[in-house]
Amino acid sequence: MKVAENLLQQVRQDLKQARVPLSIFADPEIFQLERQHLFARAWSFLAHESEVPQPGDYVLRYVGPDDQVIVVRGEDGKVRAFHNICTHRGQVVCRAERGNTSSFVCSYHGWSFKNTGELTGVPAYKESFGYAGLLKREELGLKQVRIETYNGLIFGTLDASVPSLDEFLGNMKFYLDISPTEAMRV
Ligand code: FES
């Protein structure tokens, strides 16, 4: 908290002279605070629905600076977002920045996941000593990220308890209603 208080003090000082302290952009402690208090708790813009128009279309994006997510339109036409992490041993399941696929296959041990998230394929499921035919496959689908949309803009958050996107956007919706693409550049 001390870092946050010092930062606030410094910003107030510098703003009096119409300056923004450069440390804001480079200080690792500030970056940590942003991770913790901002990115982990806010809605992040991920994609526009028009980027994934067809079933199977996907794009890779980030929630905050660290968490890569796959935004994908499933075979059922619904858009979802998943952590790009295999539920077996944590390898990424998608390496291309965009594309179209019916499933994501992990390159480590070959587990495959439908574009709706379910785990569908586990090589050597019955034969492997490690699995012993006992895996609860229905519990091992890709981990879903909470998303909501506004005017076709897809936002995601890692915090299930944050208020709705509608509430989060508040007056910003005025600008999104006028011109979504311009507003996203602000
Ligand atoms: S880490 Fe993905 S299949 Fe093992």
Structure tokens at 66: 């660290």
Ligand 1 centroid to 128 CA: how many Å?
14
Type of residue found at 62: Y
Other CB atoms within a 10 A radius of the CB of residue 73 amount to 22
Ligand 1 centroid to 90 CA: how many Å?
7
Give pLDDT, residue 130.
Answer: 67
Question: Could you tell me which residues come within 8 angstroms of residue 60 by beta carbon, excluding any fewer than 6 positions away?
Answer: 68, 69, 70, 71, 84, 94, 96, 97, 98
Q: What is the pLDDT of residues 101-160, one digit of tens each?
A: 999 999 999 999 999 999 999 988 777 766 767 788 899 999 999 999 999 999 999 998
Ligand 1, atom nearest to 109 Cα = 3
Ligand 1 centroid to 107 CA: how many Å?
7
Mean per-residue pLDDT over the chain, rounded:
89
Structure tokens at 85: 């992490």
Structure tokens at 19: 């300056």
Give pLDDT, residue 151.
Answer: 92
Structure tokens at 117: 């998230």
